[in-house]
Chain A
Amino acid sequence: MSQHNLPNDRGRAINTGDVLAWLLLSVLGVFWLMPFLWMLSSSLKSLAEIYSFPPNLLPEQLQWWNYIDAWNAVPFARFFVNSVIVSVGTTAGVLLTSSMAGYSFSRLRYPGRDKLFLAYLATMMVPFPVLIIPLFILMGRVGLVDTLIGLILPAAFSAWGTFLMRQFMLSIPREVEEAARVDGASYWRIYAQIILPLCKPVIATLGIFTFLGSWNEFLWPLIMISSVQNKTLPLGLTMFQGQAAVETPWQLVMAAATFSILPVLVLFVLGQKYYVRGIATTGVKG
């Protein structure tokens, strides 16, 4: 078993290396989870308990009601719906535009294709914060400031996603579409009915990445959104800060943090395989 691994490759019946690693990792793991555990514990305390010192590690009495209070303190239901709309819209946009461009870059041949692809990759170099000023002005011109569409549109095109799609499509054997070509199928049909169904794994990878990225996005919504009914979840979370004049209701902040992290965790655990694969492939190949 352990033969395949670096740190301890002298196989022994009882592997002391593994035992040590287990112990070390357990200690580190508990330490690493501490902020999450503290968030959970704090989210279930009463306000009085939050403001007592020294703090109890666990709540005296579980205040489940905090979650409902936090949910109603600011319109979180609205923020959730907005976040879902923006994340789903962005993901759909990225998947469509990236897979189309990836198809073009990988399976169609025309003059200048590879040069165009290189120029394309160069756009990945432009950091988003550099674009916020002109993008905001542009959004003002077309009347999309303070709209959800204004959040989706600029994010719906991804050079990285195109790169990912292209790399995957290159690995699909040419024979797959040969028969369809001979039958005179249109390129769109080949793309939609033959290539895309074969791309499910990479679609899952790109989809999860895009969704999580969009769900977490903060800077752009912060600039664009001014009215409460258009806020996304991250913006909503910050509303606690300015609100309380005297004492920040930390138990509610922690409850809100918990329920905004939850959907992301569920998605991550469900799609972990694809997420990890995405990091592994693009990470190593750069």
Chain B
Amino acid sequence: MATSNSVETPVARSRSRGGLARGSAWRGVRRNETLAGYLFLLPNFAGFLVFSLIPIVAAFGLTFTDWNLIGERRFVGLENYRTLLADDLFWQTARNTLYYTFGAVPAGVFIAFWLALLLNRNMRGVVFFRTIFFLPHVTLTVAIALVWAWIYHPELGLINYGLERIGINGPRWLQSTTWAMPAIIVMSNWKGIGYAMLIFLAGLQAIPQDLLEAATIDGATWFQRLRHIVVPLLAPTTFFILVTSFIGAMQAFDQFYVMTQGGPAYSTTTLVMYIFQNGFQWFQMGYAATVAMVLFASIFAITALQWKFGQSWVYGNEGAE
């Protein structure tokens, strides 16, 4: 935000000079620039209007209707919301989504942090290692999900083979109501940790080195430097990663669809999958939109909450610096 002002200063100066010299011509230029400004925005803005703004309003409107996509659209008032509150399946998918989110995100961010610490050094081959950990993030989720479905195969899979070698009879992973969700959490973190790691690395590299050196000279141990310098200075980065990871996890779909199709017994049906099923398998557009609105509200609430807590947490530490 601050940058926009710094750019404007020289322009404003040159403008007023031109304005003085040419008088009314200046106003013409100005109007021209306004027009150009809007015209350059137009393609993007039209796209947003049609593909974001209008749909979100339409989605809200749909929550008050009952519609199977082909037949007549019926206004039902708050019926969908009443149904939702009494819908056990909805509550289960909401719980599943929270289970997944809170199972995956904190652990993933924690591991990513330590990995970034380990990789933040001038060492031969360090770029190679970074690439290894980052690689899963750029690969096709569907392909990766298929690979992990094969790894989790109850009879032929690599994991149960490994477990058998050390004398453990492995569970039926993706076919087990208990183990399917943890299995997907592990897979998702394997795929996603590289991204958080890279952001942590960027944050680590922005920490002023003299601060760490001064602390070392003062006799601070490695752990003290970590706790009192690195972690506080990294707080904004951590905060950013947490917020984006939470938002992402709440919308998880691909790996669930490929690995379990939401089963067994709806134990891995997430909210997005429930929207998908209601809308495109059961053709209850109104109800699907209602679930979507709840998802929207939850993501909004989580973000707002994190901002509220994050603000004091992040800036409190900055003030101490």
A contacts, CB < 8 Å to B = 1-10, 17-18, 21-22, 24-25, 28-29, 32-36, 38-39, 42, 50-51, 53-55, 96-98, 100-101, 103-111, 113-114, 116, 120, 123, 125-138, 140, 153-154, 156-157, 159, 162, 167, 170-171, 174-175, 178, 187, 191, 212, 215-216, 218-219, 222-223, 233-234, 237-238, 240-241, 250, 253-254, 256-257, 260-261, 264-265, 268-269, 272, 275-276, 279-280, 283-284, 286
Supply 9 A–B pairs (Cβ within 8 Å), ascending by A. A29-B133, A38-B158, A130-B56, A133-B62, A157-B47, A222-B276, A265-B138, A268-B138, A279-B199
Pair B296/A284 contact, Cβ less than 8 Å: no
Interface string of B118-149 (1 = CB under 8 A from A): 11111101000101110110111111101110
Which of B2-10, B75-83, B173-181 contacts the other chain? B2-10
Q: Which residues of B contact A269 (CB under 8 A)?
A: 131
Q: Which residues of B contact A153 (CB under 8 A)?
A: 47, 51
Pair B190/A5 contact, Cβ less than 8 Å: no
CA distance A223 to B285 in the complex (A): 13
Pair B121/A2 contact, Cβ less than 8 Å: yes
CB-contact partner of A5 in B56, B122, B141, B271, under 8 A: B122
Q: Which residues of B contact A53 (CB under 8 A)?
A: 155-156, 161
Q: Which residue of A is nearest B41, CB measured?
A: A104
Besides A134-B58, A134-B62, 13 other A-B contacts (C-beta < 8 A): A6-B222, A17-B121, A32-B136, A33-B135, A108-B36, A127-B247, A128-B251, A138-B54, A138-B55, A174-B10, A216-B141, A234-B141, A276-B198
Distance in Å: Cβ of A76 to nearest Cβ of chain B:
12
Q: Which residue of A is nearest B271, CB measured?
A: A129
Pair A54/B161 contact, Cβ less than 8 Å: yes
B258 interfacial by beta-carbon distance below 8 Å: yes
Q: Which residues of A contact B11 (CB under 8 A)?
A: 109, 174
Taking chain B's interface residues, is the majority helix, strand, or loop, or is none over half, making it mixed? helix
Taking chain A's interface residues, is the majority helix, strand, or loop, or is none over half, making it mixed? helix
B contacts, CB < 8 Å to A = 1, 3-4, 7-8, 10-11, 14, 33-34, 36-38, 40-41, 43-45, 47-48, 50-56, 58-59, 62, 69, 115, 117-123, 125, 129, 131-133, 135-136, 138-144, 146-148, 150-151, 153, 155-156, 158, 161, 164, 190, 195, 198-199, 201-204, 206-207, 209, 212-213, 216, 222, 225-226, 230, 236-237, 240-241, 247, 250-251, 253-254, 257-258, 271-272, 275-276, 279-280, 285, 288-289, 292-293, 295-296, 299-300, 303
